[in-house]
Amino acid sequence: MRKRNITAATLVIAALAVGSASASVISVNFVENASNQIFAGGENIGPLATDSSNWNSNETPDTGNFAAGTMGSLIDDTGANTGADIAWTTGGTYWQGDGTGDDQHKLSVGYLDDTATTGGYGVRITVANVPYAEYRVYGLVASDQATLGVQNANVNGTWVYGDGSTTIGMGYGRIDDNNTANGSFWTQIVSGSVTGNYWTIETSGSTLTLDVLARNGGDRGAITGVIIEQIPEPATLGMVALFGGGLLFIRRKLSM
């Protein structure tokens, strides 16, 4: 009996170790009007279905305003302070027709607009003190246009669509339109083949520099949100596999 109790305790410890190896996420929402775009919380929103209670929002910047400002002490998807800071600059903000009936729609309705700023970019975002060695960046797009060409973005020196600044993707300006077309509020854009409403790219470095090209005719570069998703290091993945195998072995022993 004592041996079985010790083994059960080991099972609990191993389970905790596997759970603690999950990736962390920093999510930022950009608003146009804080009076009706404040999240209620408790709703899983965005491409990664992150609890809206644990999103950062520029509705209360440390400095500046909705269109250009800074904000420190960004939290992750557990509500923990990551120590990361964000700064954003754009020519203005705007909104589209998704409405504000729930947090999913509040995320999409207001956005950083894409009027040209210094340097020829429509939106410029910098995140300092990123706590992850490698990470995946998501750029969430929105527009008052139903469908649009989505301008290319440069993330830490690499173009999102991979073919240079002139390459565009195709997108839906509203998440309701994307849901009708794709059966989901959020769909990854694949240039030349998939019309969606967010792009993604993998990168690294303690500073994230994200520049989106300014609007060019019907091609737009507005951003309604940015997500930074940790990519677990190989050693961490190996540890998860090791504990996973241990769990399977222990379960078999306990069932004997």
Q: What is the secondary structure of 106-117 as a DSSP string?
A: HHHHEEE-----
Alpha carbon 6 to its chain's center: 41
Pairing of strands 219-220, 147-150: parallel
Distance, in Å, from the CA atom of 247 to the CA atom of 237, rounded to the nearest integer, reads 15
Condensed to tens digits (0 to 9), the pLDDT of residues 44-98 reads 999 999 999 999 999 999 999 999 999 999 999 999 999 999 999 999 999 999 9
Residue 16 is predicted with a pLDDT of 39
Q: Which helix (H) or strand (E) holds 51?
A: strand 50-51
Give the mean model confidence (pLDDT) for residues 214-222.
93
Give the mean model confidence (pLDDT) for residues 240-246.
46
Residue 235 is predicted with a pLDDT of 57
Contacts of 73 (CB under 8 A, 6+ apart): 81, 82, 83, 85
Condensed to tens digits (0 to 9), the pLDDT of residues 52-63 reads 999 999 999 999
The model carries a pTM of 0.85
Distance, in Å, from the CA atom of 197 to the CA atom of 178, rounded to the nearest integer, reads 7
Distance, in Å, from the CA atom of 27 to the CA atom of 50, rounded to the nearest integer, reads 8
Residue 119's pLDDT band, with cuts at 50, 70 and 90, is: confident
Burial of 114: CB neighbours in 10 Å, binned 0-12, 13-18, 19+:
buried
Residue 248 is predicted with a pLDDT of 43
Distance, in Å, from the CA atom of 86 to the CA atom of 125, rounded to the nearest integer, reads 7
**In residues, how long is the chain?**
256
Contact 160, 255 (CB under 8 A): no
Residue 127's pLDDT band, with cuts at 50, 70 and 90, is: very high
Is residue 36 helix, strand or coil? coil
